[in-house]
Structure 1
Amino acid sequence: MITAVDRLLADEGGQTPRADARRNLERLITAARSALAEVGVEVTAQEIAQRAGVGKGTFYRRIPSRETLLQVVLEEVLGEVIASADRALADPDPWHGFTDFASVYVRLRAESCGANEALGGTGIPGLDRLLAEIRTRIRHLVEAAQSAGEMRRDIAWQDVAFLLAGVSTDSHTIGLHSDSGQWNRNLRIVLDGLRGRSCS
């Protein structure tokens, strides 16, 4: 998988950067990923630069634009989702593969505002191809589990996509406060509801 660092270096014409320039780029990417998780796609270049410990001038020497940085970082994140789905599809046990993928996917949506926004199709353009690949893999995972009799057949794969997206919750509801494990408990309930009735 092409990393965000490799993508940005390729955009510079593939020239080998000085060691300090590469370190600054790596710090900016790490900072952008962290800021995306906490703040979402509205994070500013200034905040990313501060988190990376570099000046705004260094930011723009290494990065064409804030939007470019966020796009390559989100492409890397979505690439990890696709790799997780591919591992799940290779699992000889379709239900086990699906539940492993579901856990990775829902955890990412719960823990990263930016990834959740990107998977919801808002915020950053240029991700349509990757979102289409994720849709295709979710469909294949659902169809494999249904063909094996491990998942209810009366549920469309699109329903499963919405159910997985809905597992992540707000931190507050009706005066209750969720803890960091709420998404996992929600997911267990959803998976139990998806399981084929003949399965134990």
Structure 2
Amino acid sequence: MSAVDRLLSEASDTPRADARRNLERLITAARSAIADIGVSVTAREIAQRAGVGKGTFYRRIPSLDALLKAVLEEVLGEARTAADRALADPDPWHGFTEFATVYVRLRAESCGVNDALGGAGSCDLGDTITELGDSLRRLIDRTQQAGAMREDITWCDVAFALAGVATQPHTIGLQAAPDQWIRNLRIVLDGLESRR
């Protein structure tokens, strides 16, 4: 379910076309602000990015937490969809690498996704995060059972390894390349793959 649909399902009436457009602009602005700033973003920042006043923000959105939750559930839904595709892939290693690429890209593109997956913020994403973790665990088990992934690591090891792939823009005087997360992911995947 999209963030727009999540928020509209909580509304008591069907909004007019202009109200829906304002809601869509607020969600687009929120996704951008969450990516840049993280879950500490303010309603004012989102309203400014959307080109609306704070009054319009609160007429269209029940609360800042509701907006953050709807947007983050939508983004994390992309990772869950990637996990479902990976579990259906006849080649477990290929499925896992496709999932890992989507998951790490989402983390690399959004401070808010990293914040949420790390437990920061006040919106309740517990069920969404639990479902994503369960999908990752099943994906790791499947890949290991196929002999494609090293058996001496746990699914928790993989979760932390993937979380560490998205880098800070600078380290020891070096600046990360725009595709640094892709390079890092290749190194991690090389270390996870079974050498049998």
TM-score (norm: length of structure 1): 0.96
| 1:53 is the counterpart of 2:51 | yes
| 1:69 is the counterpart of 2:97 | no
Once superposed, which parts of structure 1, at least 4 consecutive aligned residues long, lie more than 4 Å away? none
Give the letter aligned to residue 7 of structure 2: L
| 1:161 is the counterpart of 2:159 | yes
The answer for the alignment partner of 2:93 in structure 1 is 95
The answer for the alignment partner of 1:83 in structure 2 is 81
The answer for the alignment partner of 1:37 in structure 2 is 35
What are structure 1's unaligned runs of at least 5 residues?
A: none
Q: 1:71·1:124 contact (CA, 8 Å) conserved in 2?
A: no
Q: 1:118·1:124 contact (CA, 8 Å) conserved in 2?
A: no
| 1:118 is the counterpart of 2:116 | yes
Give the letter aligned to residue 91 of structure 1: D
2:164 match: secondary structure? helix
Percent same amino acid among aligned pairs? 68
Aligned ranges for residues 135-150 of structure 1 at < 5 Å? Answer: 135-150=133-148
1:167 match: secondary structure? coil
- Measure how far apart 1:124 and its partner are: 3.3
- Measure how far apart 1:22 and its partner are: 0.4
1:34 match: secondary structure? helix
Give the letter aligned to residue 97 of structure 1: G
Give the letter aligned to residue 162 of structure 2: L
- Taking the aligned partners of 2:93 and 2:144, their CA distance within structure 1 comes to 9
The answer for the alignment partner of 2:194 in structure 1 is 196
2:152 match: secondary structure? coil
Aligned ranges for residues 2-41 of structure 1 at < 5 Å? Answer: 2-13=1-12, 15-41=13-39
- Taking the aligned partners of 2:178 and 2:68, their CA distance within structure 1 comes to 25
- Taking the aligned partners of 2:119 and 2:82, their CA distance within structure 1 comes to 20
TM-score (norm: length of structure 2): 0.97
Q: Over aligned residue pairs, what C-alpha RMSD do you find?
A: 0.9
Give the letter aligned to residue 21 of structure 2: R
- Taking the aligned partners of 1:150 and 1:64, their CA distance within structure 2 comes to 47
Q: Deviations over 1:68-120 (max 9, x none)?
A: 11111111111111111101110000000000000000011111000111111
Q: Deviations over 1:156-196 (max 9, x none)?
A: 11100000001111111111110111111000000000010
Pairs aligned (count): 196
Q: 2:66·2:123 contact (CA, 8 Å) conserved in 1?
A: no
- Measure how far apart 1:125 and its partner are: 3.0
